[in-house]
C-alpha cells in the first residue's frame, strides 16, 4: 500500500511539473516566436503609445469618429475583466427599451438618414467587447463623420473600404470593420 501511495505522489508531482510548468512555458515560447503580436494582445500603437487592442472595442461618442457596437459590460463599457453579454432575449422588455433608446439616439445623431439602423449599432455582442461593426453600420455613419470633419463622403467611404476585412478563409464569418483602426486612419486624413 505504501508503494502504491509513493507511486501516486510521484505521478502527481511529475504531471504537475509537466502540465503546470513545462507545457505552459513551452507554449509561451512558441507563441512569442510564432505569433508575437497576437501573444501580446494585438496591441495598436501610435507615436510610441499603446492606444488599444485590435481585439477589444472602445467607446467613441464624438461625432467625428465611427461609433462602436454597444458594450454589455458593466459598470464600464468594453471592460475586458467583465466580459459578458446582457443575457436579455429579443423579447425582454429591458432589451426592447434599450434598443429603442439606441435607435432614437442614432436617429437624432443622423437626422438626414432614412434607411433602417443596422442592428449591430443598437445591440451588444455576446462578449460585450466586439471591436468590429458591419460595413452597413459604417456606411450608416459616413455622412455624419464627413460633415463633422469637413471632408467628402467619398473620402470616408474609401477609408471604410480599405479597412473592411472579408470573411475568414473566404467563407467564415461576415465582412467587418475594426472601429479603432478605422478611427486612427481617419485621424490621418485631417493632419
In the predicted structure, residue 48 carries a pLDDT above the cut 70? yes
Mean pLDDT of the region 143-155: 92
Report the pLDDT value the prediction gives residue 38, as an integer from 0 to 100.
Answer: 86
Contact in structure between 57 and 69 (CB atoms under 8 Å): yes
Mean pLDDT of the region 148-165: 93
Global pTM value: 0.80
Share of the chain above pLDDT 70, in %: 98
Contact in structure between 157 and 142 (CB atoms under 8 Å): yes
Interval 65-80: pLDDT, tens: 999 998 888 778 888 7
- Mean pLDDT over the full length of the chain: 89
Band (pLDDT 50/70/90 cuts) for residue 47 is: confident
In the predicted structure, residue 163 carries a pLDDT above the cut 70? yes
Burial class (CB in 10 A: 0-12, 13-18, 19+), 102: middle
Mean pLDDT of the region 32-57: 88
Mean pLDDT of the region 34-51: 88
Name, of 20-29, 55-64, 79-88, 114-123, the range with top average pLDDT: 20-29
Cβ-Cβ contacts under 8 Å for 31 (sequence gap 6 or more): 38, 39
Mean pLDDT of the region 37-45: 86
Q: How far apart are CA 117 and CA 137, in angstroms?
A: 8
Report the pLDDT value the prediction gives residue 65, as an integer from 0 to 100.
Answer: 94
Lowest mean pLDDT across 71-75, 102-106, 136-140, 169-173: 71-75
Band (pLDDT 50/70/90 cuts) for residue 191 is: low
Mean pLDDT of the region 99-121: 88
Amino acid at each position: 500500500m505504501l508503494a502504491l501511495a509513493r507511486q501516486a505522489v510521484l505521478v502527481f508531482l511529475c504531471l504537475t511539473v509537466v502540465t503546470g510548468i513545462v507545457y505552459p512555458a513551452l507554449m509561451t515560447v512558441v507563441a512569442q516566436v510564432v505569433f508575437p503580436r497576437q501573444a501580446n494582445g494585438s496591441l495598436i500603437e501610435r507615436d510610441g503609445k499603446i492606444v488599444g487592442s485590435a481585439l477589444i472595442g472602445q467607446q467613441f461618442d464624438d461625432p467625428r469618429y465611427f461609433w462602436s457596437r454597444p458594450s454589455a459590460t458593466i459598470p464600464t463599457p468594453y471592460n475586458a475583466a467583465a466580459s459578458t453579454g446582457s443575457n436579455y432575449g429579443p423579447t425582454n422588455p429591458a432589451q426592447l427599451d434599450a434598443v429603442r433608446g439606441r435607435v432614437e439616439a442614432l436617429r437624432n445623431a443622423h437626422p438626414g438618414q432614412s434607411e433602417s439602423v443596422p442592428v449591430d449599432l443598437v445591440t451588444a455582442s455576446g462578449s460585450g467587447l466586439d471591436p468590429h461593426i458591419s460595413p452597413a453600420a459604417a456606411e450608416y455613419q459616413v455622412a455624419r463623420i464627413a460633415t463633422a470633419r469637413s471632408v467628402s463622403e467619398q473620402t470616408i467611404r474609401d477609408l471604410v473600404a480599405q479597412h473592411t476585412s472579408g470573411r475568414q478563409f473566404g467563407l467564415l464569418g461576415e465582412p467587418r470593420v475594426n472601429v479603432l483602426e478605422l478611427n486612427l486612419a481617419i485621424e490621418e486624413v485631417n493632419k
